[in-house]
Amino acid sequence: MTATSAALTPPADAIPPVRHPDAPAPGELLGSHYGHCFGCGGGQPHGLHLEARAGEGVTVTAEFTVTADHQGAPGLAHGGVLATALDETLGSLNWLLRVIAVTGRLETDFLRPVPVGTVLHLEAAVTAVHGRKLYSTAVGRIGGPEGPVAVRADALFIEVKVDHFIDNGRPEEIRAAMSDPDQVRRARAFEVNP
């Protein structure tokens, strides 16, 4: 395992994260922020279909099952898919702070192979906040929520405005998300890291 880079070390004047009063309750399923998201959307046939739940404080738990569509080496999860699972789980933390933020940096350590058919149990927490920067960490375990750590990550998320997605996304997907008659789903499309 490598040491975390200086870019992922919160500065001395960073503050502890504070859960927003309107954040989902502990145990609540967060759901998909966008139906076609590779990480959490149900509209992606080969996606992760990751399901995240609000935890205590500024934490989330999530899990996804590694399928044959997610393999790299024969019978084993692709490292990029595992990094995506960690990134998606870390992005779900934004629900608890009620901010829109995107991944600025993600450092991942791969500690054990993750076989196809494995349920990866993920935990993530925001560790510090400094201006628009959100520092966080996550682990993925195999064999259950208390099992051995297979993957871990440290991340830096940057708070952005909704214009970030409107200005940079493909217009047809932005229009579809904005015209969704379900107000909650439409808002969720822009509330967490896509």
Residue 194 banded pLDDT, cuts 50, 70, 90: very low
Whole-number Å distance between alpha carbons of 171 and 75: 38
Share of the chain above pLDDT 90, in %: 65
Whole-number Å distance between alpha carbons of 166 and 88: 20
Q: Note the pLDDT of residue 2.
A: 53
φ, ψ at 55 (rounded to 5°):
-110, -165
φ, ψ at 3 (rounded to 5°):
-80, 150
| Under 8 Å between Cβ of 31 and 148 | no
Strand ranges (E), the chain: 51-54, 59-65, 101-110, 119-130, 133-141, 149-159
Q: Note the pLDDT of residue 183.
A: 42
Residue 8 banded pLDDT, cuts 50, 70, 90: very high
Whole-number Å distance between alpha carbons of 113 and 79: 9
Q: What is the mean pLDDT of the chain?
A: 87
Share of the chain above pLDDT 70, in %: 81
- The 10 Å Cβ neighbour count of residue 98 is 13
Q: Note the pLDDT of residue 103.
A: 95
What mean pLDDT comes out for the span 104-108? 97
70, pLDDT greater than 90: yes
Residue 68 banded pLDDT, cuts 50, 70, 90: very high
For 135-186, write each residue's pLDDT tens digit: 999 999 999 999 999 999 999 999 987 555 556 666 676 666 666 655 455 4
